[in-house]
Amino acid sequence: MSQISTLAFDLEESSGQGHGMVAFVDPKSHQIVECNDSLSEALGVAKTQILGETVFQVFTSKSRRSAEKVYRSFLKTQSVSEAELELEDTDGKGIPVTLRLSGARDEKGKIHCTRFSWHNISDLKKETNRLREKVALGLREVNKRGKHLQKEVERRKTTQSKLRNTVTLLRRRAKETRILAKRVIGIQEAERRRLARDLHDETNQKLAFLSLQVAGLMQGLPMKTDQLQQHLQSVLDNISSLANEVRQLAHQLHPAVLEHLGFVEAMEAYIAEISQSKEFEIVFRHRNVHKTIPLELSLCLYRVAQECLGNVIKHAHARTIQLSFVGFAKSLRLSIRDDGIGMTPKQFRGLSQGLGFVSMRERVRLVKGRLRIKSKPRKGTEIHITVPRVENIS
Ligand SMILES: Nc1ncnc2c1ncn2[C@@H]1O[C@H](COP(=O)(O)OP(=O)(O)OP(=O)(O)O)[C@@H](O)[C@H]1O
Ligand SMILES: [Mg+2]
């Protein structure tokens, strides 16, 4: 009697939980001896049809075998057991449940009644499936994006490798151009030197001889040929001014003084020459440049200064040009400043027709130096060249 009342209590409590389906089973015959309404409602059959049936009949054929296994294992171990299975309902879809087995024991501790309690997990399953689908969808999207990213990475890799090839090619071309520029500048200097020597040794000598001849002629003429004397004197003057110009030209082409006396003296001589007839003032200052400068460096600086001064004369309309040449422990700096009309970046970046800036930059680069230009329209121009003071540059 006490056992029955315990079962009744258990059943009521289980029904109160709403979803809880409970049945009590005889462990020997496996027949259902009692069950609650929740179970009969869920299975869609009357309670009277359930009682007396083997408990395994309430499971779908799919999960019957597992139910038997769980039950047998429970009886053997006599410990509480749990599993996920399916109950068979009338429409044959099956109700997903969790099964919990527990037993009521007699005085000897032996199970005399097994309690099957099922919990309907349809909603949980649905939610799990919904989440699973969502995750699968997310995964598909991630995969899709991953593939897209992979393609993008591949595309970038290809572009990068193409760019690398182009950079290598450009570097090679730049190197070739540098070698070519160096050769061109070398050839140009050699040619200038040859021209200067020819002008000095041949043309100038011939002019000197011609002026001696004219002077001789003048001496041999009788006094009364005054007009002729005057005429010859003017020929003589022309010859001497021509000789002067040829000398200057030879000097500009190849300043021998640069080789023999150095940059400062060559610059002073050049400034004296160009200052003669012009309407501007050139101020040249130098500091700490006593040490001898390698010819390659002084030639570079001289040519750059020549081009800068030439540019100021040609384009700047300046009144004052300041040249400064300063020696530091490891470098030399030449600066040319003018108070002229200045220029736009397009002009000084060498984008104009002229070759002056292009050649200047190339010469400075060949001696591993740096060229900086500061200029603005109507604000004058400053050009700074810094070169390392090394003995052997190439
Ligand atoms: N000191 C300066 N003041 C104003 N403009 C200048 C000055 N130096 C150069 N420029 C401008 O920059 C341009 C480029 O100079 P660059 O020396 O390269 O060529 P260029 O003197 O015109 O020709 P090239 O030097 O080949 O005879 C010049 O045409 C001129 O307009
Ligand atoms: Mg120029």
Question: 272 in a domain, yes or no?
Answer: yes
Residue finishing a domain among 124, 144, 171: 124
What average pLDDT does the chain have? Answer: 87
58 contacts 98 by C-beta, under 8 angstroms: no
Which domain, by its residues, includes 312?
Answer: 257-388
Q: Examine the pLDDT at 216 and tell me if it is beyond 70.
A: yes
Q: Of all protein residues, whose CA lies closest to atom 11 belonging to ligand 1?
A: 347
Is 60 exceeded by the pLDDT of residue 392? no
Query: Closest ligand to 342 CA?
Result: 1
pLDDT at 81 over 60: yes
Query: Which of 66, 98, 124 is the C-terminal boundary of a domain?
Result: 124
Of 96, 124, 152, the one marking the end of a domain is: 124
Which region among 40-49, 155-164, 217-226, 303-312 has the lowest average model confidence (pLDDT)? 217-226
Please tell me the distance between residue 60's alpha carbon and the centre of ligand 2 in angstroms: 101
Residue 154 in 3-state DSSP?
helix
DSSP code, position 202: I
Residue 145 within any structural domain of the chain: no
Q: Summarize the confidence of residues 192-211 as an average pLDDT.
A: 86
Q: What is the pLDDT of residue 267?
A: 94
d(CA 68, CA 48) in angstroms, rounded, equals 23
State residue 350's pLDDT score: 62
Ligand 1-lining residues (CB < 6 angstroms): 311-312, 314-316, 338, 340-343, 347-348, 350, 352, 354-357, 381
Domain membership of residue 32 (yes or no) is: yes
**Measured between alpha carbons, how far is 53 from 51 in angstroms, rounded to an integer?**
6
119 burial level (CB within 10 Å; 0-12, 13-18, 19+)? middle
The predicted pLDDT at position 88 comes to 92
Residue 14 confidence (pLDDT) = 46
pLDDT band at 110 (very low <50, low <70, confident <90, very high): confident
In a domain, 116, yes or no: yes
87 contacts 76 by C-beta, under 8 angstroms: no
User: What is the full DSSP assignment across 293-323?
Assistant: --HHHHHHHHHHHHHHHHHIIIII--SEEEE
Task: With a cut of 70, say whether residue 327 has pLDDT above it.
Answer: yes
Note the pLDDT of residue 63. Answer: 92
pLDDT at residue 358, as a whole number: 85
Reported as half-sphere exposure (CB side, CA atoms, 13 A), residue 277 has a value of 0
CATH of the domain at 31: 3.30.450.20
Structural domain contains residue 159: no
Region 260-278 average pLDDT: 88
Residue 348 CA: which ligand is closest?
1
Q: Using the atom order of ligand 1, give the atom closest to the CA of residue 358.
A: 18
Tokens (6 digits) for 394: 């190439």
> Could you tell which of 282, 309, 343, 383 is best to mutate to test the pocket of ligand 1, judged by most ligand atoms within 8 Å of the CB?
343
pLDDT at 200 (0 to 100): 81
Q: Give the distance (Å) from ligand 1 centre to CA of residue 253.
A: 20
CA 352 to centroid of ligand 1, rounded, Å: 8
Residue 129 lies in a domain: no
pLDDT at site 257: 84
Kindly calculate the radius of gyration of the chain based on its CA atoms and give it in whole angstroms: 55
Count of structural domains, the chain:
2
Span 351-371, average pLDDT? 87
Residue with CA nearest ligand 1 atom 13? 347
Q: Is the pLDDT of residue 9 over 50?
A: no
Say if residues 22 and 102 touch (Cβ distance below 8 Å): no
Q: How confident is the model at residue 77 (pLDDT cuts 50, 70, 90)?
A: confident
306 domain residue, yes or no: yes
Residue at 173 is within a domain = no
For the entire predicted model, the pTM comes to: 0.59
Domain containing 377 — which CATH number? 3.30.565.10
Tell me which ligand sits closest to the C-alpha of residue 380: 1
Quote the percentage of the chain above a pLDDT of 70: 92
Q: CB–CB of 28/55 below 8 Å?
A: no
Q: Give the confidence band of 321 by pLDDT, cuts at 50, 70, 90.
A: very high
Residue 223 has pLDDT above 80, yes or no: no
Using the mean position of ligand 2's atoms as its centre, give its distance from the Cα of residue 354 in Å. 6
